[in-house]
Amino acid sequence: MTLNVDGVAKRFGSVIVLEDVAFDVAAGAAVGIVGPNGAGKTTLLDIVAGVQRADRGSVRLDGTDLGRLAPAVRCRRGLARTFQTPRPLGELTVYETALVAAIRGGGLRGSDAREAAVQSLAVAGVGRLANRPSASLRLLDRKRLELARALATQPKVLLLDEIAGGLTNAETDVLVATIRGVHAAGTAVVWVEHIIRALVQVASRLVCLAAGRVVAAGAPDEVLADPKVRAAYFGAS
């Protein structure tokens, strides 16, 4: 088992954001997290990555309880995360951005860091833009650079937070092909996404959240056909 989320709960005052959320991600698997706005999906990724702390429950990676470990430590243990809105470091080139991720996020040094940066850019499809300022990129390439930054840390588990948001259908297809390649190479993927057609091209299992609780989990076809999912996510009864 690579990643285990068990009984995770989070409240903000009297508002329940997550309640008893549990799921597993086996080594090399791809799991999609779906649900309506406000279901707690991004908060869940924050807790797994260590950006926020759960009120109770545990997150384990390869059997080790991550407990109160900081995001940087979790990253070096094998968890890498992208964000909904790309955050390019405008004063750095595309290559320098990936190199910083390899060094600061992955703990790599010297030629290992340089090789990881170059490889991550190639896999993400932005190697040709290595010398461009990060802030000059169009949205698709910013998304690809966001992915490259995560890959430069050489993760065991890649956490994707609505990475296809804002893209055209054609751009989404390009990004999906890249993510499928990353997954096929052996990296486990946990992907929060509203664009279901993109998600099911990668994920072999879905977990649906509604009002902070898991209402269904299983094969994509089974989950998407579940009446509870249709009621919560699609507004159908």
What domains does the chain contain, in order, with CATH numbers? 1-78+156-237 (3.40.50.300), 86-154 (no CATH)
Report pLDDT for 70.
Answer: 94
- What share of the chain in percent tops pLDDT 90? 89
Q: How does residue 233 score in pLDDT terms, banded at 50, 70 and 90?
A: low
Closest by CA to 29, choosing from 202, 192, 224, is 202
Report pLDDT for 234.
Answer: 62
What does the block give as tokens for 144?
């690809």
pTM for this prediction: 0.93
Report pLDDT for 188.
Answer: 97
Mean pLDDT of 149-177: 95
69-119 pLDDT, tens digit per residue, is 999 999 999 999 998 888 777 789 999 999 999 999 999 999 999 999 999
Q: Which amino acid is at 80?
A: A
Report pLDDT for 179.
Answer: 96
115-149 pLDDT, tens digit per residue, is 999 999 999 999 999 999 999 999 999 999 999 99
> Has residue 236 got a pLDDT over 60?
no
Q: How does residue 215 score in pLDDT terms, banded at 50, 70 and 90?
A: very high
Q: What rounded mean pLDDT belongs to the chain?
A: 93
Mean pLDDT of 34-63: 94
